[in-house]
Amino acid sequence: MTESRRADGRPRLGARLEEWLHRRRQKRALAAGKVPGVIPYIGYGSPEWVRVLGRVLYLKPDDASGGQRWRRNGVGNVGRVRGWRSFTSLHVPYQPVRVLIDSEPVTEVVSDRGGVIDSIVPVSLEPGWHTVTLQSGGSDAVDVPVYVVDPAARFGIISDVDDTILNTALPRPLVAAWNSFVLDEHARTSTPGMPVFYDHLVAAHPGSPVIYLSTGAWNAAPTLSRFLERNLYPMGPLLLTDWGPTTDRWFRSGTEHKQRELRRLAREFPEVRWVLIGDDGQHDEKLYHEFASQHPENVAAVAIRQLSVGQAVLAGGRSKARLHQGASGVPWVYGPDGATLRDELRSLGLL
């Protein structure tokens, strides 16, 4: 819902309420001895630039001093975590953060109003994996991988998360709330056959970037990274969004977030043709149809995971998106699991 614009340009009511609450919590955090610390997220880029991602939070000194250890695909093993803990974290807005790449100082970036770091940093790097180091204030530096896409790459994967690779029953509000805020993260299950499907795609197209695009909040990034690691999904950046009100809306639009990121990836990698992977329970089919119609040269195929009957009921039924099949010459394939989608793409010569 969009609020009417104020003539004096001040933030909207929702944003002002959020800022008031944040100031009160900030005072308590500082009084408790917490300091700004960086939670890093996997980034990506080209040989000339990298997109640095992360979030600055108020943390206990021990947590801000090497407490976040990166392994294969995300924050290291920090035990069994309930989702609500991620959503009670306190962010640090407009905090300067030093950036080093492969141990060499590069620049300084600043977190946004929600504490999110999302900055393009000029570099000169070879294709492949590199290490970005982020440091905020007096806290210890933290490392995170960044993937530099080879300019010769012509194939990539963009994957939705909820109900595509991670079973959350997200369309039903009460179940979504339970899964997000209460359920132990180790209880979440992977869609059968999807990790193997993704591995086969990457093996068939070495050097392909893998991007996980979701309407989920940045708060959930560490949890999602650990899920990807546990279930052996290919390593790649998560592109999430920030929760809460903005200066012109009570709630951010997840659909607009996905549209914006798809357009951005098309601009950043104009030579790459993506396999777009989603499900038929939310808005993926419509979004992918629009993107494939506008950028057919950037889409190799669309693969839609079909929800079960029970999941579809929770999602409010199935869309009419099969009418989109073949739009602009882009092939669409459907299947209930990774094995079926793999066989469908193999029949198209993409595997």
Query: Please, is 77 exposed, middle or buried when counting C-beta atoms within 10 Å of its C-beta (0-12, 13-18, 19+)?
Result: exposed
Q: Indicate whether 63 and 203 sit together in one domain.
A: no
Averages of pLDDT over each 10 residues, the chain, 351 residues? 45 66 76 86 97 91 55 41 58 94 91 93 96 87 95 97 78 52 66 97 97 88 88 96 55 80 98 96 88 95 86 57 65 95 96 92
Same domain, 160 and 261: yes
Q: Phi, psi at residue 325, to the nearest 5°?
A: -55, 125
User: Can you read off the two tokens belonging to residue 202?
Assistant: 């990457």
* pLDDT reported for residue 215: 86
Looking at residue 233, its pLDDT comes to 97
| Separation between Cα atoms, residue 328 and residue 58, nearest integer Å | 48
Domain that holds residue 91: 33-148
Burial class (CB in 10 A: 0-12, 13-18, 19+), 249: middle
Q: Is residue 60 part of a domain?
A: yes
Mean pLDDT estimate for the chain: 81
Q: Is residue 13 part of a domain?
A: no
| pLDDT at residue 184, as a whole number | 60
Domain boundary among 148, 176, 195: 148
For the domain that residue 45 is a member of, what is the CATH number? Answer: 2.60.40.10
CB proximity list for 146: less than 8 A, separation 6 or greater:
42, 43, 44, 45, 50, 51, 52, 101, 129, 130, 131, 132
Contact assessment for residue 115 and residue 95, using Cβ atoms and an 8 Å cutoff:
yes
In terms of domains, do 193 and 294 share one? Answer: yes
Give which of 158, 124, 164, 146 is closest to 288, Cα–Cα: 158
The DSSP 8-state label assigned to residue 103 in this structure reads T
Angle between helices 254-268 and 284-294 (to 10 degrees): 30
Domain finish residue from 132, 148, 164: 148
Of 130, 148, 166, the position where a domain reaches its end is 148
